[in-house]
Chain A
Amino acid sequence: MGELAAPLEVRGPRAGWQLWGPRVRRHKGMILGFCLLGVLVLIALLQDLIARESPIRIDVTVALQEPSWVHLMGTDQYGRDVYSRVIHGARISLTVGLISVGVAAIIGTVVGLMAGYYGASVEALCMRLVDVMLAFPGILLALGIVSVLGPNLRNLMLAVGIAGIPVYARLVRGSVLVAKEHLYVEAARAIGAPSRKILVRHILPNVIAPIVVTATLGMGGAILAAAALSFIGLGSQPPTPEWGRMLSEGRDYLRDAWWISAFPGLMIMLTVLGMNLLGDGLRDVFDPRLRI
């Protein structure tokens, strides 16, 4: 009797980390982005430990000192420690990014889900609103909202968030239109599941991946927009150690005290770079077709 063939090993469908793990490990940019953001989150969490000097304490006797062992990144025109301000700025920038994108993603997702699922007049109303919002270039819409609400950090986050809503609304609506044609949605409807349950339990999980990717990529843009508006005086107000504001304050001392503007700018760049690298990576891992 001949040798019996070894039984075939039956494997279940690959899912989760099994599927994405190798893609993540191959993506060096994504790992770099993750590390950059990891360091920033640590800085934001441990700010009081790694920068013991107050970021708002004024001491004109040490104004405009260049970087040294005492003041690692020098001091500004009021004698405030730039290193301490830069470190404390991390928490503000990350919070601004998170809240702005949170506002945009949550409201945009709800609008997109409703427009895509209910169709008809709900869709017409939502999408015309979105069209009108898209008629304003992003920063102009945020600028208009800040001008109405008044310039401060809270209103800035709200303004940048509202300006981001159309992107998510359109993205989610498109995904819902595809998802609601699937059999499992029809089956849920057939057994009498209420619309809200179908939206939350069956459709939302299928549109969450593109939302996460867009949110990660959008966070860099939101941080940039918020810093830009703070730079022109329409965001955080003195003495808040916000990076955009710090750049603006250092502008008049550029010739003699480059460090006041250089370090906050570098931090903005590294934060946005980290977000972009992570966002690009997530997009490639979750949906390689979208790669550009």
Chain B
Amino acid sequence: MTRYIIGRLLVTVPVVFGVTLAVFSMLFLIPGDPVKMMLSEFVTNPEQVAKMRSQLHLDEPFVQQYGRFVWNAFRGDLGTSIRDRRPVAAEIAEMFPSTLQLALAAFALAATFGIALGVLAAVRQNSWWDAGSMVVALLGVSLPSFWVGLLLIFAFSLHLRWFPATGGGGISHLILPALALGLGGAAIIARLTRSSMLDVLRLEHVTTARAKGLAEGIVVLRHGLRNALIPIITLFGLQFGSLLAGTVIIETVFGRPGIGRLVVNAILNKDFPLVQGVVLFVAVAYVGINLAVDVIYAVVDPRIRYG
């Protein structure tokens, strides 16, 4: 197992370096002079431009700049925001708990509803329950999360007044954004759970469990779902990463503080160090989540680590 984890870590290292190179290169891919672009809204003179260039170390050779970027990032220094003049890492640290809270809540909703819907559809295959669950799942994949968010605000905030429409804070601020964000994930999980459950429920150990007179609920949950969950774990990792990225949209819809809104505002304000910092942070987090999922997968299914 240790060998598997070390091997998997070794594969991740070049990917993380590739990610740092891609994020670092963003500044060099901007058409024109990045410094002039960032300073475009301010009154600028050549001295200011030169000062900014020197502040961002853009007057150094590429390799030296990249080395500095990686070394600083490794130490947790992601540069300084141009607009707020605050360390990017501090801004991310301030905003991330709210985003993580939203992503976790959406994930919990997606996993709970997705698995329940998928199991129901598989157990009642070819019934109205099956058809209904899969129609809900298909609609869930097709609905834009930001539109769902607006519909939820319209119904539950503006008309019924059950939840606040915008802002962050307690659990009442979390429910509607989590629902809007989690719906798509629930639909994808439901579809995979159904197909995975159908495969497992046809296996001999399930027939044996039924033959020895176990209650259907136990057969489905203990012998069916437990085995059907194995491929779904991989999807969980991908889904959590997508939800983390999806907060970019939902935080804007609900005016909720978080790193999603932080990066959108940074892009609109042309605050490149902040954009780079947030993109690097989320990408590395995503790589970490997928690594964790692979390790969990190998723990749950020994065929992976010996395969």
Closest to B27 in A: A148
A144 touches B142 (CB 8 A): no
In B272-295, the 8 Å CB interface with A consists of: 272, 275, 279, 282-283, 286-287
Q: Give chain B nearest CB distance to A286 CB in angstroms.
A: 17
Closest to A139 in B: B245
Q: Which residues of A contact B19 (CB under 8 A)?
A: 132, 135-136
A254 touches B275 (CB 8 A): no
Which one, B23, B144, B252, B282, contacts A265 given CB within 8 A? B144
In A244-289, the 8 Å CB interface with B consists of: 244, 247, 250-251, 254-255, 258, 261, 265, 268-269, 272-273, 276-277, 280
Query: Known contacts being A144-B275, A148-B26, A268-B147, is A138 close to B245, with CB within 8 Å?
Result: yes
Main secondary structure of the interface of B (DSSP, over half): helix
B267 touches A143 (CB 8 A): yes
In B151-192, the 8 Å CB interface with A consists of: 151, 153-154, 158, 191-192
Query: Known contacts being A139-B246, A254-B153, is A147 close to B26, with CB within 8 Å?
Result: yes
Taken together as a complex, chains A and B put the C-alpha atoms of A231 and B141 apart, in Å, by 18
Instruction: Tell me how many residues of B have a C-beta within 8 Å of chain A.
Output: 50
B154 touches A254 (CB 8 A): yes
Which one, A129, A138, A269, contacts B147 given CB within 8 A? A269
Query: Known contacts being A135-B15, A272-B144, is A148 close to B286, with CB within 8 Å?
Result: no
A269 touches B191 (CB 8 A): no
A261 touches B150 (CB 8 A): yes
Q: Which residues of B contact A139 (CB under 8 A)?
A: 242, 245-246, 248-249
A136 touches B283 (CB 8 A): yes
Instruction: Tell me how many residues of A have a C-beta within 8 Å of chain B.
Output: 45
B263 touches A143 (CB 8 A): yes
Is residue B214 within 8 Å, beta carbon to beta carbon, of the partner chain? no
Residues of chain A whose beta carbon lies under 8 Å from any beta carbon of chain B: 29, 128-129, 131-132, 135-140, 143-144, 146-151, 220, 224, 227-228, 231-234, 244, 247, 250-251, 254-255, 258, 261, 265, 268-269, 272-273, 276-277, 280, 291-292
Taken together as a complex, chains A and B put the C-alpha atoms of A292 and B114 apart, in Å, by 14
A137 touches B146 (CB 8 A): no
Residues of chain B whose beta carbon lies under 8 Å from any beta carbon of chain A: 14-16, 18-19, 21-23, 26, 29-31, 138-139, 141-147, 150-151, 153-154, 158, 191-192, 194-195, 241-242, 244-246, 248-249, 252-253, 263-264, 267-268, 272, 275, 279, 282-283, 286-287
Taken together as a complex, chains A and B put the C-alpha atoms of A150 and B37 apart, in Å, by 11
Q: Which residues of B contact A273 (CB under 8 A)?
A: 138-139, 142
- Can you report 26 residue pairs joining A to B where beta carbons are below 8 Å apart? A131-B15, A132-B19, A135-B15, A136-B279, A137-B241, A137-B286, A139-B246, A143-B279, A144-B275, A147-B272, A151-B268, A228-B146, A231-B144, A231-B249, A232-B252, A233-B268, A244-B144, A247-B144, A247-B146, A255-B158, A261-B150, A269-B139, A269-B144, A272-B143, A292-B192, A292-B194
A234 touches B283 (CB 8 A): no
Which one, A144, A149, A247, A291, contacts B23 given CB within 8 A? A144
Closest to B32 in A: A150
Q: Which residues of B contact A144 (CB under 8 A)?
A: 23, 26, 275, 279
10 extra A-B contacts, CB within 8 A, seeds A137-B245, A147-B275: A29-B138, A131-B15, A139-B248, A146-B267, A227-B144, A231-B144, A265-B144, A265-B150, A272-B144, A280-B138
Main secondary structure of the interface of A (DSSP, over half): helix
Taken together as a complex, chains A and B put the C-alpha atoms of A258 and B246 apart, in Å, by 24
Which one, B14, B23, B154, contacts A258 given CB within 8 A? B154
B15 touches A132 (CB 8 A): yes
Q: Which residues of A contact B138 (CB under 8 A)?
A: 29, 273, 276-277, 280
Taken together as a complex, chains A and B put the C-alpha atoms of A25 and B255 apart, in Å, by 47
Which one, A29, A228, A251, contacts B249 given CB within 8 A? A228
B142 touches A276 (CB 8 A): yes
Closest to B11 in A: A131
Taken together as a complex, chains A and B put the C-alpha atoms of A131 and B192 apart, in Å, by 24
Q: Which residues of B contact A136 (CB under 8 A)?
A: 19, 22, 279, 282-283, 286
Query: Known contacts being A233-B268, A272-B144, is A143 close to B139, with CB within 8 Å?
Result: no
Q: Which residues of B contact A261 (CB under 8 A)?
A: 147, 150
B242 touches A137 (CB 8 A): yes
